[in-house]
Amino acid sequence: MWEEVYKTCELVYGARQVKPGGVRVLQTFKDYTVDFRLKEFRKISETEPPEFIDFRSNEGADLIDEMYDAVVRILEQEA
């Protein structure tokens, strides 16, 4: 089930290519960089230590749930 949720979220929040064969830019959700390849959220600040949240952790699962709800709303608006 989770893989289906990840794939749905990746439709909206997955990495985007700047140009074909070029650099891929990771998207953000709630101030976290979303990395579907590593299955983690990251937050890097100049004043605080880096924060890494695995998708499968409790906090990561909560963020994925929120992201999924946002993706469903976005996709419904586009339909």
pLDDT in tens, 44-70: 999 999 999 999 999 999 999 999 999
Report the run of H or E that residue 32 belongs to, with start and end.
strand 32-35
Residue 4 CA, distance from chain mean position = 14
What pTM, to 2 d.p., does this model score? 0.86
Write down the pLDDT at residue 3: 84
Give the position of tokens 């600040």. Answer: 45
Nearest-10 Cα torsion for 26, 29, 32, 36: -50
Length of the chain: 79
What digits encode the pLDDT tens for the residues 20-34? 777 889 999 999 999
Whole-angstrom CA distances from 1 to 4, 8, 17, 53 are: 5, 11, 27, 20
- For the cut 90, the answer to whether the pLDDT of residue 1 exceeds it is no
